[in-house]
Amino acid sequence: MKALVAVKRVVDYNVKVRVKADNSGVELANVKMAINPFCEIAVEEAVRLKEKGIVTEIVVVSVGPKEAQEQIRTALALGADRGILVETGAEVLPLAVAKLLKAICDQEQPQLVILGKQAIDDDNNQTGQMLAALAGYAQGTFASMVKVEGDKVAVTREIDGGFQTVELNLPAVVTTDLRLNEPRYAALPNIMKAKKKPLDVKTPADFGVDVTPRIKTLKVEPPAERSAGIKVKTVEELVAKLKNEAKVI
């Protein structure tokens, strides 16, 4: 079974995001970048399935700038077999990514496609669902458990008030939630081996996909700073402030 995993290059989750001086976007110059945490979980799940003998090959795909090769190499060091970078400097929206992934699926014919449920930069939570619709694949979103048996995959997913398990016919798209697994760290020998693993660089034109953004970002602003809290000496003073200033009672 071949598994295809999509990864995205995002600002490292430990970095405090800063807005550009002209409010045109987020400052990325000299900022540490990393694999989107949900995508890291997707890579880990594919590697675990390979270790169980269920998956025989893992193909990692990313759409973005040339520098995204770094994130693909990281995924290769974690256990993936080869990578594909669709290189573009444009701001790529979820539908365009889904179309590119669909074209790659047509070429690679994976039985299982695993994606993070969302990226921590735009939080769209759209690409997996769009890919499943375009490719005609079954889909299991927000997966907290994945179990492959024969030509079916059982996905336990979190819903309001509990869990739901769905059985999907392969090929299928699965999007990962935080509770699915805990990603491993890449060992130094595997990092060195990853440098020799194949990585193909393509362009959107190679797949006949137009990635021109249909949405324009007009302005990006940081959230308003929260005012400091205050201390009150008596219950009466607290009630007065809640009633007269906060107006919650």
Domain spans in the chain, listed from the N-terminal domain onward? 2-244
Q: What pLDDT is stored for residue 165 in this prediction? A: 96
- Cβ proximity of 2 and 59 under 8 Å: yes
Residue-level pLDDT at 133: 97
Q: In the chain, which residues have pLDDT < 50?
A: none
Q: So what's the pLDDT on residue 216?
A: 87
What is the spatial distance between Cα 188 and Cα 172, in angstroms, rounded to a whole number? 33
Residue-level pLDDT at 239: 92
- Type of residue at 144: S
Residue 240, token pair as written in the block: 């007065």
pLDDT at 199: 97
Question: Residue 116: its pLDDT value, please?
Answer: 96
CA angle 143, 87, 200 (to 5 degrees): 80
Residue 225's pLDDT is 84
pLDDT score for 224: 84
Beta carbons of 153 and 113 less than 8 angstroms apart: no
DSSP annotation of 130? H
Query: Cα–Cα distance between 82 and 161 in angstroms, integer?
Result: 39
Please tell me the predicted confidence (pLDDT) of residue 153: 96
Q: What is the pLDDT of residue 226?
A: 82
Query: Length of the chain in residues, anyone?
Result: 249
At residue 36, the pLDDT reads 96
What homologous superfamily is domain 2-244 in, according to CATH?
A: HUPs (3.40.50.620)
